[in-house]
Structure 1
Amino acid sequence: MRFRKSEGLNGSEQMLAELCERSFLKLWTYPNLFRKPGKELTDLLVVFGNDVIIFSAKACSYPDSGDADLDWSRWFRLSIADSAKQIAKAERSILSSPEKIFLDAKCLERLPIALPAADDMRVHRVCVALGALDRAEVETGIRGLKIKPMVLNDEERFTVGTIEKASGWVHGFDDVSLPLVLSELSTINDFIHYLNSKVALFVTAHFKYAASETDIVAYYLWHGRTFPAHDHDYFIEPGLWAKIEASKEFLAGREANKISQFWDGLTEYITDYYLKETLELGNEVSMSDYERAARILAGETRFHRRILSKAIVERREIARKNEIGAMLPSQQADVSYVLYVGRGDQGKDHEAYRKDRAQILQLRCAAAKAADPQKRFIVGIAMDASGVKGSSEDFVFIDTGEWTAEQIEKAQKVRTELGYFTERTAVLSRISEDEYPGSRRVVDVRKLADELSSLTVSESIELAGMLKEEWKPSDPEA
């Protein structure tokens, strides 16, 4: 194993690690880090390109002294205030000494992936405060903490606002809101976009408060992952999450997203082999190079992972009869995916078949560059048809950022001579995918170019363009 993460976790740290690794995947999620021998840095760190999320989790029993204000003040200090202090200290350490971040208490094993330069780093601060919701429900009738940006520290009971000791906005999550948000916004980019959108919301003068974090995320999803601008003071309607979750369109979207786990599984599958150094080819690739390539896969949003997963699963079924190749869309402007699905070795020499399939994938990746020259990164994925005995996978990552004119010319020659992704053989059709099936939101129309060759191989180019509009259930009052 290339490295081992900390296993000395308490209950709240274990819960946090499991939730974050499920959403953000293992290569970018690091619990219980240290800055000096025996000196903890933070409870969990997520590093993804230039984005760094610092998590601090505190599980504190709520006091019961008979003085309601004193009980809140004591709990706030031991959970939220101490978390903010830990996050601020961790942030300073990360910015000043990024090379001194360790996986173990003895500080023998460094963080295996590189942090961005201080000037490029985008820091997000997350406090997880557990233990107050039973008391909050008794006193307020709501099982959650109110979010009110104008409140400072502990001046209002069961309310999180601005925290004085923090170096920036600290996002406060509780026992209910943390698993909910990490379930509904379950990729790094989805989660970070939500955090950034909240910060932009909180600095506006017109937003006053929300009864709970769950209502904020409901409002965000309700309006197409935005917080609409207002020209007057307003608050977010209490109980909005219950309305969202009762919507048949929302539930249909959640069900439709299940297939997107195929993409998560694909990313974790190859990462497991790489970390265990059991790849057939590629174990010599440096951690930084592998992480850069895998980050592209993990950079897709949940909705786009659904699109990619459906495309692959459908083509694996088609490939039972005929091999199939495709250029698949990415939400990342400089990325193209190239898929090639073979029929399997058909009972013949698997090694010869695998070698031939890998070579075809390489050629298709070159042709994809010629077909769409503005794309810098080409990620190739080769696999076998669904249900094939003894199936295998190949992955290719190509950075064409420094390709010469001669290399581009060779790629164009491959495309022309082999007939991969050419205009001559392309037949355009249209498909669509609703993020929330049955909703009134207009979502994502793509062109699909099918290419038929003399080898009965179907090529496809999918170009995605998303239209963001406000989403609401068919009956907003329901």
Structure 2
Amino acid sequence: MNEKNEHDFVIPSDVDESVTSFMFDEGFWDEFQQSPERQEQISANYISYFWDTLIERFSKHILEDTQYYKSHPGVKGTEPVVRFLAAESRFRRRILARQLLDFVRLAPRDKIAIRYICSSSPQEPYYVFLTLPHDDWMTYEVYREARGAFLNAYCRTVKLNFPDVQHIVGIATEPGLNNRSQSEDAMYLDATNWTEEDAAKTREISEELNIFKNAKPFNIHDEEYPL
């Protein structure tokens, strides 16, 4: 890891500047693959493939134009959210999938619930996870429209409260993991050109819906090689 905590081939400072290449001994990769650290990493990464499943679901609906709700028609208007999901590393997918699944599993069955996941760099998005129960008095159409509207409002409020955020991705679903009719909504908010008009409108929505009162962003720490 380099000084930015990124995967890298860090060249020691005392290496002669004339050196232009390095060689790894034969069998180095096989040895790494068999190491206890690598085996623990593979085991810990199992949950990350749920994130892959989400990407496949959203991509399928985009390509087949079968989204329940879409703010922009066509692939061009809806692919950014999938692009951000797919840009996550295997390690980040592990973290995000665990947080999303735990959140949905423990979410209350009688009210809306929200979890905010901070980004670790300006290039990474903030995530908004939302669950909303489907009350008996609501038609399915009204429920999906309401859930999408809440997700949009909460994503916008993230920008209002964290002005430096540039990209926000929201994912909404029903609470609980054993739901046969489980559905997901996803949205991307491009906050790179946020205006004062956007901020004013979001403040109004935030006050009206009582959004982001005493909310705290969720910071996560995990070990890539959990041994």
Q: Counterpart in 1 of 2:52?
A: 264
TM-score (norm 2): 0.80
Q: Please state how far the C-alpha of 1:358 moved relative to its aligned partner.
A: 1.7
Q: Counterpart in 2 of 1:381?
A: 171
Paired residues for 1:19-418 under 5 Å:
225-230=7-12, 231=15, 235-282=23-70, 285-319=73-107, 321=109, 323-331=112-120, 333-334=122-123, 335-345=125-135, 349-385=139-175, 386-416=177-207, 418=209
Q: Please state how far the C-alpha of 1:269 moved relative to its aligned partner.
A: 0.6
Q: Partners of 1:276 and 1:429 in 2: how far apart?
A: 34
Q: Which has the higher contact order (CA 8 A, sep 6+)?
A: 2
Q: Which one has a larger percent strand, Structure 1 or Structure 2?
A: 1
Q: Counterpart in 2 of 1:454?
A: none
Q: What secondary structure, in the 3-state scheme, does the structure 1 residue paired with 2:182 have?
A: coil
Q: Partners of 1:390 and 1:296 in 2: how far apart?
A: 26
Q: Over alpha carbons, which structure has the higher Rg?
A: 1
Q: How many positions carry a matched residue from both structures?
A: 216
Q: Which one has a larger percent helix, Structure 1 or Structure 2?
A: 2
Counterpart residue type for residue 407 of structure 1? D
Counterpart residue type for residue 149 of structure 2? Q
Q: Partners of 1:245 and 1:327 in 2: how far apart?
A: 35
Structure 1 range deviating more: 263-272 or 409-418: 409-418
Q: What secondary structure, in the 3-state scheme, does the structure 2 residue paired with 1:437 have?
A: coil
Q: Please state how far the C-alpha of 1:242 moved relative to its aligned partner.
A: 2.7
Q: Deviations over 1:189-209 (max 9, x none)?
A: xxxxxxxxxxxxxxxxxxxxx
Q: Counterpart in 2 of 1:6?
A: none
1:288/1:331 CA distance change after superposition, 3 Å: farther
Q: Please state how far the C-alpha of 1:245 moved relative to its aligned partner.
A: 2.0
- How well do the aligned residues superpose, as a CA RMSD in angstroms? 3.0
Q: Please state how far the C-alpha of 1:377 moved relative to its aligned partner.
A: 2.4
1:418/1:277 CA distance change after superposition, 3 Å: closer
**Contact 2:117–2:217 (CA<8 Å) still a contact in 1?**
no
Q: Does 1:435 align with 2:224?
A: yes
Unaligned runs of 5+ in 2: none
TM-score (norm 1): 0.41
Q: Deviations over 1:447-470 (max 9, x none)?
A: xxxxxxxxxxxxxxxxxxxxxxxx
Q: Deviations over 1:307-337 (max 9, x none)?
A: 1111100011012545421122345525222
Q: Please state how far the C-alpha of 1:244 moved relative to its aligned partner.
A: 1.6
Q: Partners of 1:257 and 1:418 in 2: how far apart?
A: 38
Q: What secondary structure, in the 3-state scheme, does the structure 1 residue paired with 2:56 have?
A: helix
1:345/1:391 CA distance change after superposition, 3 Å: farther
Q: What secondary structure, in the 3-state scheme, does the structure 2 residue paired with 1:235 have?
A: coil
1:226/1:278 CA distance change after superposition, 3 Å: same
1:429/1:336 CA distance change after superposition, 3 Å: closer
